[in-house]
Amino acid sequence: MSILIVEDSEDTSLLLNRFLEKMGYNNVLLAGSAEEAIDIIGLSKKGGTVNKDIELILMDIDLPGLDGIRACQKLKSDLWYKDIPIIMLTAGTSDISLEDAFKAGAIDYIVKPVKMLELCARIGSALGLKQEMDRRKASERELETLARQLKEANRILTNLSYIDGLTGVANRRYFDEYSGQEWKKAFREHSFISVIIVDIDYFKQFNDTDGHPAGDECLRLVAGALSDALRRPGDFIARYGGEEFVSILPNTTLDGAAIIGETMRTNVCGLNIRFAQSKTTTVSIGIAGTIPGKSKTIQWLISEAGRALHTAKKSGKNQVKVF
């Protein structure tokens, strides 16, 4: 790491360099003007590489050309140099220029002629403060990283607790939570809400003949086909248990729900999943819908959809029934 001296008086510059050498700072850069300093630092050209080796700057206020105050402002506007301590050197103690120096971002000032003892104390203090600030910033960055990681871990855990591990759609727990919220919302808004229950036909036979791994694959494919039938952001599908799926459709009339139910059915047929050598996997679907009222509950609506599903099963399967 190095220290940059920005001083137009060669005599003062040489003296400071000698003092710094005596203090153990052997890597000292000298600039005779602010412009030269900006060049050394790498800020003279846009997009240039910034010299990140400099850990402290000693800069005369009274420089020819760009003065020390304006040079300090320029350096402090750089993302890297805003944290590099700048100690101003002044041969006068004009309150105005010192006030300007602090406003420009200087951390301290030394009145010339510079004495070694004072220089040593001021530099030690500035570098100590910078090290403390760097340490705190590193701690803050570490905490921010940990907070981000924790947030992400929580997000993953939340997702895991709401997602059915086999099919990737929402699980029963999430459905119970979501359907309750949507029911209340429909109640408040006096809007129609529909529920679709889907059951895979002959699924027990599927597992018995083709085995559970094939049955699991069937569940995954059916879940995807059912999800594909949903078009609006509020539409929601979950695995209800076993080979049953349930969907809640806010702001959807029975006619609209029937169209979606039929799309689900044809999507599953389109998968052409074969089992027991010749049979094709189909689904039976029951639909119910209502505008929520005080005498009704979401559980009632789900049981109505269940009744419709039962009718579809009794009527020969692979069909949609609406209650």
Partner 1 sequence: MAEETEKIIVTIDSELSGLIPGYLINRRSDIEKVSAALDSGELEAIRAIGHQLKGSGGGYGFDFITNTGTAIERGAKEKNYEEIRRHIAALGDYLDRLEMVYD
Q: How many Cβ atoms are within 10 Å of 303's Cβ, its own excluded?
A: 14
Buried b (16+ CB within 10 A) or exposed e, 261-298: bebbbebbeeeebebeeeeebbbbbbbbbbebeeeeeb
Please report how close the Cβ of residue 68 comes to partner 1 at its closest, in angstroms.
Answer: 13
If the CB atoms of residues 91 and 156 are measured against partner 1, the closer one turns out to be 91
Please report how close the Cβ of residue 93 comes to partner 1 at its closest, in angstroms.
Answer: 12
- How far lies 198's CA from each of 134, 232, 282, 291, in Å? 60, 19, 10, 22
Opening angle at CA 131, ends 126 and 136, nearest 5 = 125
Can you tell me the distance from the alpha carbon of 60 to that of 114, in angstroms, rounded to the nearest whole number? 11
User: CB of 319 within 8 A of CB of 312?
Assistant: yes
Residues of this chain that interact with partner 1 (CB under 8 A) are 9-12, 14-15, 18, 22, 62, 89, 91, 112-116
If the CB atoms of residues 114 and 123 are measured against partner 1, the closer one turns out to be 114
Please report how close the Cβ of residue 131 comes to partner 1 at its closest, in angstroms.
Answer: 27
If the CB atoms of residues 41 and 114 are measured against partner 1, the closer one turns out to be 114
If the CB atoms of residues 3 and 15 are measured against partner 1, the closer one turns out to be 15
User: CB of 7 within 8 A of CB of 13?
Assistant: yes
Please report how close the Cβ of residue 9 comes to partner 1 at its closest, in angstroms.
Answer: 5
Please report how close the Cβ of residue 59 comes to partner 1 at its closest, in angstroms.
Answer: 13
Q: Which amino acid is at 113?
A: P
**Alpha-carbon dihedral 294, 299, 302, 308, rounded to 10 degrees:** -80
User: CB of 196 within 8 A of CB of 287?
Assistant: yes
Please report how close the Cβ of residue 89 comes to partner 1 at its closest, in angstroms.
Answer: 8
Q: How many Cβ atoms are within 10 Å of 85's Cβ, its own excluded?
A: 22
User: CB of 249 within 8 A of CB of 181?
Assistant: no
If the CB atoms of residues 60 and 210 are measured against partner 1, the closer one turns out to be 60
User: CB of 309 within 8 A of CB of 284?
Assistant: yes
Establish how many alpha carbons lie within 13 A of residue 298's alpha carbon, considering only the half-sphere containing its beta carbon: 21
- Could you tell me how far CA 235 lies from the centroid of its own chain? 25
If the CB atoms of residues 71 and 186 are measured against partner 1, the closer one turns out to be 71
If the CB atoms of residues 13 and 167 are measured against partner 1, the closer one turns out to be 13
Please report how close the Cβ of residue 6 comes to partner 1 at its closest, in angstroms.
Answer: 14
If the CB atoms of residues 66 and 254 are measured against partner 1, the closer one turns out to be 66
Please report how close the Cβ of residue 112 comes to partner 1 at its closest, in angstroms.
Answer: 4
